Amino acid sequence: MRAVILSIIVILLASLALTAQEPEAITVDKISVIGQKRTRLAVIFRELPIKVGDTILLANLPEKIAEAERQLMNTNLFSKAAITYKDWEGATQKVHLQVEVAENWYIYPVPTFDLADRNFNVWWKEQNRSLQRVNIGLEVNHLNFTGWGDKLEAGFEYGYTRSYSVSYKIPYINKNQTLGLAASINYGRNREVNYATVDNKQEFYRDESRFLRRKYHFESSLNWRPEIYGVHTFGLEFHQEWVDPIIIQEFNPDYFGDNKNEIDFFRLLYRFTYDFRDNRAYPWSGYTYGAELIKDGIGIFNDRSALSLDLFGSKYWPVGERWSFGVVAGGKYSFIRQPQAYRYNRALGFGRSKLSGYELYLLDGLDAAYLRKSVRFNIWKGNITFGKWVFLESFRELPFHFNLNMSSDLGYANSPFNTQPNPLNNQLLWGGGLGIDLVFYYDFVLRLQYSANKIGDRGFFLDFELGI
């Protein structure tokens, strides 16, 4: 009998020990929001990776809270997002979370000052800071137009390009908040045309007395977002372009291909993006990856036929409080292996496909690949407070990061039908540099970098769109 009692006691003690070892968890009983004026509550709740009824391990709760705050900030709807514990019932382990937000200013006219060139460095160093290559205009943005996180934009520019544009994007059109729509129209014309690439530099022809190029572009898309971080986009676009016959007759008969000076075609595209970065403009941790499949020409006009696949991804590892390592990779492959019109034969030098040290160069081709590596060190971060000197509450505090950056990049552009002397095509390229990154208001980034490349170029370069 004594042995049975001892066995029961041992079993009970073991059960209590196992129970004590189990990690404690809490249940989210309620989520409330304060500070929101225009944004609908459904939009805020849609972005939260925490839902009412969720059971979360206490050890994971701070990370979940930080993830939710980052996701709210990445909507660009708020200048501040903080989540705190309003009530916590110790007996039941139920918690009431309170979300405090400060909305961004939602309607504002913005004077625009844009450069016609691919980046600031081309304009500054190769175009001699010519004011003829500047666009000045006005853009009116209405962010959060109906409170559903939608955005209405309308604007015009004069200068190098005369253009007019209107766009509208609404992220949610159904009850489950998984479908959204976007559409835009743009019309522009220029007195100058980039008609060829020679020595991996753009060649231009300009005529002050007349417009040499007209462009009309319409696009629409359906966005499907079944969960927070992944987005599927299905797009339909129409492109119509015209250049003066002199471009075809005297400079490049393959500008649009087949000696045409006008082109019309439809574009179908599918894009998938998964984005789990802490800050999309300047990520310090997290990752993103995606793909884009584009088909130009669907048999209606027979002016253009191309099919390409773009892949891209990045990963960021924070080390301690002040270091972060990053890797960005991507590439393009063209399934239709035939010469393409010069106007659409881009490989490296535009958008995200940039290499440190090659800011002044452009590589055309059917295919491309790039790998960018970086190490960043945070020198200083904090908030600069302006107080009542700034009448807009959303801008009274300036979050500011000051970082040291070191980069090393590789790239390759395959141009099997290269008809011009472009020595950087069809060879492995290396470039890198050391620079300073300035990050303002979470989403405005400026980099000053001293770069070098494989062919011996050295110099300082300024970048406003890092593509990191």
Q: Please state the rounded mean pLDDT for residues 167-185.
A: 94
Which is more confident, 23 or 392? Answer: 392
Which is more confident, 336 or 463? Answer: 336
- Single-letter amino acid, residue 204: F
Q: How far apart are CA 282 and CA 447, in angstroms?
A: 11
> Domain locations in the chain?
22-103, 107-463
Cα 236 from chain centroid? 20
- Which phi-psi region, left, alpha or beta, contains residue 144 (left: φ > 0; alpha: ψ -120 to 50)? left
Q: How far apart are CA 145 and CA 309, in angstroms?
A: 34
Is the sign of the CA dihedral 172, 174, 178, 181 positive or negative? negative
Q: How far apart are CA 344 and CA 255, in angstroms?
A: 9
Tell me the pLDDT band of 390, cut-offs 50, 70 and 90: low
Taking 80 as the threshold, does the pLDDT of residue 6 lie above it? Answer: no
Q: How far apart are CA 195 and CA 204, in angstroms?
A: 6
β-sheet bridge partners, residue 329: 313, 371
Which is more confident, 433 or 466? Answer: 433
Q: Please state the rounded mean pLDDT for residues 340-358.
A: 90
State in words which class domain 22-103 has.
Answer: alpha beta
Rounded to 5 degrees, what angle do the CA atoms 334, 340, 345 make?
75
Tell me the pLDDT band of 348, cut-offs 50, 70 and 90: very high
Nearest alpha carbon to residue 303 among 332, 333, 344: 344
Give the pLDDT confidence of 361-388 residue by residue, as tens digits.
999 999 999 999 999 999 988 877 766 6
CATH assignment, 107-463: 2.40.160.50
Cβ proximity of 139 and 155 under 8 Å: yes
pLDDT for position 385: 72
pLDDT for position 112: 82
> DSSP alpha helices (H): ranges in 208-350?
245-246
Q: How far apart are CA 87 and CA 97, in angstroms?
A: 7
Q: Which helix (H) or strand (E) holds 278?
A: none
Give the pLDDT confidence of 436-458 residue by residue, as tens digits.
999 886 677 889 999 999 999 99
CB atoms within 10 A of CB 30: 12
pLDDT for position 18: 41
- Single-letter amino acid, residue 212: L
Q: Please state the rounded mean pLDDT for residues 305-320.
A: 96
Rounded to 5 degrees, what angle do the CA atoms 345, 235, 145 make?
120
- Single-letter amino acid, residue 83: I
Taking 60 as the threshold, does the pLDDT of residue 206 lie above it? Answer: yes
DSSP line for 288-307 = EEEEEEEEE--SSS-S--EE
Nearest alpha carbon to residue 468 among 349, 309, 329: 329
Give the pLDDT confidence of 105-144 residue by residue, as tens digits.
787 787 887 888 888 888 888 888 888 888 898 998 888 8
Taking 50 as the threshold, does the pLDDT of residue 22 lie above it? Answer: no
Three-class DSSP category at 168: strand
Give the pLDDT confidence of 55-97 residue by residue, as tens digits.
988 888 889 999 999 899 888 888 889 999 888 877 778 899 9
Tokens linked to 400: 């500011």
- Which residues have a Cβ under 8 Å from the Cβ of 76 and sit 6 or more positions away? 104, 143, 443
Tell me the pLDDT band of 302, cut-offs 50, 70 and 90: confident
pLDDT for position 11: 43
- Single-letter amino acid, residue 309: L
- Which residues have a Cβ under 8 Å from the Cβ of 183 and sit 6 or more positions away? 167, 168, 169, 218, 219, 220, 221
Rounded to 5 degrees, what angle do the CA atoms 226, 231, 233 make?
115
pTM of the full predicted structure?
A: 0.82
- Single-letter amino acid, residue 174: N
pLDDT for position 164: 96
Taking 90 as the threshold, does the pLDDT of residue 205 lie above it? Answer: yes
